Amino acid sequence: KAHSQQKSDKRLAVGDDLKNKPRSGRVKIRPNQVKTAFEAMPTMKSPSSPRRSPWTHPPCPRLSKQQHNGDRVVFFSDEKTFTVDPVYNKQNDRVICFGNVSNVIRSVSKTKHPASVMMLGIVASTGDKMPPIWFPTGYRLTGADYLELLKTKITKKSGKSSYVFQQDGAPAHTCKAVQDWMETNMKFWPKTMWPPQSPDLNPLDFSFWWHVESQACRVRHSNVEDLKTSVEKKWKAMKRSYIITVCQAFRRRVEAVIEAKGGEIHK
Q: pLDDT tens, 35-84?
A: 666 566 655 554 444 455 554 445 666 666 655 455 578 999 999 999 99
In a domain, 71, yes or no: yes
In a domain, 159, yes or no: yes
Alpha-carbon separation of residue 33 from 22, 39, 129, 156 (angstroms): 20, 10, 52, 56
> Does residue 253 lie within any of the structural domains?
yes
Condensed to tens digits (0 to 9), the pLDDT of residues 166-199 reads: 999 999 999 999 999 999 999 999 888 888 888 8
pLDDT class of 260 with cuts at 50, 70, 90: confident
Q: Are strands 73-83 and 133-134 parallel, antiparallel or unpaired?
A: unpaired
Give the residue with greater pLDDT, 265 vs 182.
182
Whether 21 is in a domain gets the answer no
- Which CATH number does the domain housing residue 169 bear? 3.30.420.10
Using DSSP, state whether 133 is helix, strand or coil: strand
Residue type, 32: N
Q: Is 162 within the bounds of a domain?
A: yes
Residue 99, in any domain of the structure: yes
Residue 18 falls inside a structural domain: no
* Inter-CA distances, 244 with 141, 193, 220, 238, 249, Å: 29, 23, 31, 11, 9
- 23 pLDDT band, cuts 50/70/90, is low
Sign of CA dihedral 250, 92, 197, 78: negative
Among 23-32, 109-118, 144-153, name the one with the lowest average pLDDT: 23-32
Count of structural domains, the chain: 1
Q: How confident is the model at residue 11 (pLDDT cuts 50, 70, 90)?
A: low
Task: Give the C-alpha distances (Å, rounded to integers) separating 144 from 150, 166, 168, 181.
Answer: 10, 18, 17, 11
Q: Which domain holds residue 231?
A: 59-259
In a domain, 63, yes or no: yes
pLDDT higher at 138 or 178: 178
Burial class (CB in 10 A: 0-12, 13-18, 19+), 47: exposed
